[in-house]
Amino acid sequence: MTQPLPHFLSPTSLSLDATQELFERALELKKRPIRTDLAGQSAGLVFFNPSLRTRTSMDISMYQLGGHAVTLDVGVGTWKLEHREGRVMDGDAAEHVKEAAKVLSRYVQALGIRSFPERRSWGEDRMDPILSAFAKWADVPIINLESSLYHPCQSLADLLTIQERIGSPKGQPIVISWAYHPKALPMAVPNSILLEAAKFGMEVRLAHPEGWELDADIMSRANQLARGAGGSVTVYNDIEDAMPGARVVYAKSWGSIANYQHPDEETRLKAALRGTWRISMRHMEATDNGFFMHCLPVRRNVVVDDEVLDSDRNACYDEAENRLHVQKALLLRLLGT
């Protein structure tokens, strides 16, 4: 038997120890960013969905390490891909993920994959079908650049940002708050920050309206991680109750699993929440000098007020910058010698 590939698919792909070690390397890279470790090596970045931060930071991550990235937009300049096995491929997709994964593995030393949920069914999306297909068939390490379920490069950057600002995250209270948004967004970011914060033993306060519960398995995994690390996960259905004493307010909108196939019903229910679930300076002032985090892109004055983003409580730019440093540390871990 060959060893399984060290794919990086979710926040639990790295143990707490491995993550802390990775942060040390990321902080070294922040000080001395230009390296030659990956000279001659290439990463393929496969995007099924749009990206600004991820595509730019991954490309520059490879460059600053002496390597090279090739960015592929699936369906724009490339073929559409089928991921299901055993299909008679007489529809739209001209190529199967199996071939794409096996062929790209001959050209590159690592593959980054971005693939959002298709939103046809949560039962399907929670299997992370595209990412899983690449992970199954690729012969090189896969890096999840945001799938249906997880955005683990983001949650690495998130925790590094928290650690830089308040020291050890262990035991520190973080609010992960749902926010109003005109669209039903993926759950990859809340799932990931939830698991990552739990892994680090933070006091996690997950705030969302009733009806916007995260996946039950993710919740149970988060609880388990929290217990193991001496932290906790508590759900709040009132945003105001979650704020007092928090050190971090992490806002993110996501769609409702309960109404996954009923977008009109979700829109109807959501309308009443628009005023309440939007982060304002009043929320921030209820915290213990807390700072504001968001993975970006963020809709100003919908998810969060200008006043918060334009204040020095905004940690989003540091958080985005840390994407670069943690990804470089990750690439060195996967590809370095």
Write out the residues near its own copies by the rule CB under 8 A: 33-34, 39-40, 42, 44, 47, 50-53, 55-57, 59-60, 63-64, 68, 70, 72-73, 76-79, 82, 85-90, 94-96, 98-100, 102-104, 106-108, 182, 296-302, 306, 309, 316-317, 320-321, 324
Task: Please identify, using beta-carbon distances, which residue of 50 and 228 lies nearer to its own copies.
Answer: 50
User: In the complex, what is the shortest distance from the CB of residue 64 to its own copies, in angstroms, rounded to a whole number?
Assistant: 7
Task: Please identify, using beta-carbon distances, which residue of 183 and 227 lies nearer to its own copies.
Answer: 183
For the chain, the first-to-last Cα distance in angstroms comes to 23
CB 161 within 8 A of CB 319: yes
Strand ranges inside 224-306, DSSP E: 232-236, 248-251, 291-293
- Residue 28 class from Cβ within 10 Å (0-12 exposed, 13-18 middle, 19+ buried)? middle
User: In the complex, what is the shortest distance from the CB of residue 177 to its own copies, in angstroms, rounded to a whole number?
Assistant: 18
CB 116 within 8 A of CB 48: yes
Q: Which of 44, 66, 54, 13 is nearest to 332 (CA)?
A: 66
The span from the CA of 181 to the CA of 179, in Å, is 6
Task: Please identify, using beta-carbon distances, which residue of 34 and 216 lies nearer to its own copies.
Answer: 34
CB 121 within 8 A of CB 128: no
Q: Which of 189, 165, 164, 169 is nearest to 177 (CA)?
A: 189
The span from the CA of 183 to the CA of 254, in Å, is 8
The residues that bridge with 309 in the sheet, in sequence order, are none
Task: Please identify, using beta-carbon distances, which residue of 153 and 309 lies nearer to its own copies.
Answer: 309
Task: Please identify, using beta-carbon distances, which residue of 60 and 258 lies nearer to its own copies.
Answer: 60
User: In the complex, what is the shortest distance from the CB of residue 101 to its own copies, in angstroms, rounded to a whole number?
Assistant: 10
User: In the complex, what is the shortest distance from the CB of residue 82 to its own copies, in angstroms, rounded to a whole number?
Assistant: 8
User: In the complex, what is the shortest distance from the CB of residue 111 to its own copies, in angstroms, rounded to a whole number?
Assistant: 11
User: In the complex, what is the shortest distance from the CB of residue 265 to its own copies, in angstroms, rounded to a whole number?
Assistant: 19
Task: Please identify, using beta-carbon distances, which residue of 45 and 246 lies nearer to its own copies.
Answer: 45
